[in-house]
Amino acid sequence: MNAIAARPAQPIKLYGSAISGHVHRVRLFLSMLGLPFEVIELDLKQRDNRTPEFLARNPFGQVPVIEDGDVTLADSNAILVYLNARYSADPARWMPQDAVGAARVQRWFSVAAGPLAYGPAAARVMALFGLAVDPTETVTRSHALLAVMEIHLERQPFLAGPEATLADISNYAYVAHAPEGRVSLEAYPQVREWLARIEALPGFVPMVRTPVGLAGAA
């Protein structure tokens, strides 16, 4: 496990939901850094994220949000960058400082906010909440992304290079849980090996699995 460069004066509060891959990104990295944190579970179906109290923390009404002393911060990828810069003993290990390395991580942040969010993540939401929406197009987008990732991971073990970075943390959960959105990983051995490499990292914690989609059909 990474040595700790600094520690928060009190446990970091993490507002979110156990079923959210965005929240899992933050929980996973907090665990990998060995930082103390407290999870404040929100019921998204009951719209706990739309209360005036929560909207004061994040006007967009999205999870996760962290409170670290007098710092309140939203957006999972922004939180990853913050935690790394403030608490990692080796920030360059997770977020390279050279121009090319930093750009490679940022590229995969964009994938997490784009093709991943509108592919596997969206397909999972449709299944999880039983939305009356035809998932065909979303599942097709998911497989298009996975095909690109499969080719990319044939050349290197992690998304941004030879070692795990924040790029991998930001993309892991929704790929690992893609079958919950009826997106099979069977045709992507390199992707599955990449998931296994992340799961073997010190401090790894899994995201709760839900019995929907292909996971529910097993």
For the segment 153-191, what is each residue's pLDDT rounded down to a tens digit?
999 999 999 999 999 999 999 999 999 999 999 999 999
pLDDT the model gives residue 39: 96
Bond into 8 cis (ω within 30): no
- Please confirm whether the linkage preceding 64 is cis (ω < 30° from 0): yes
- Dump pLDDT digits (tens) for 45-90: 889 899 999 999 999 999 999 999 999 999 999 999 999 999 999 9
Q: Is the pLDDT of residue 98 over 50?
A: yes
User: What is the tens place of the pLDDT at every residue in 195-213?
Assistant: 999 999 999 999 988 877 6
Residue 39 contacts residue 14 (beta carbons within 8 Å): yes
Q: How far apart are CA 179 and CA 205, in angstroms?
A: 19
Angle formed by the axes of helices 76-87 and 166-176, to 10°? 140
What's this model's pTM, rounded to 2 decimal places? 0.92
Please say if the pLDDT value at position 217 is more than 60: no
Domains of the chain with bracketed CATH: 12-92 (3.40.30.10), 95-205 (1.20.1050.10)
Q: What's the chain's Rg over C-alpha atoms? A: 17
**Stronger pLDDT, 130 or 192, i.e. the higher one:** 192
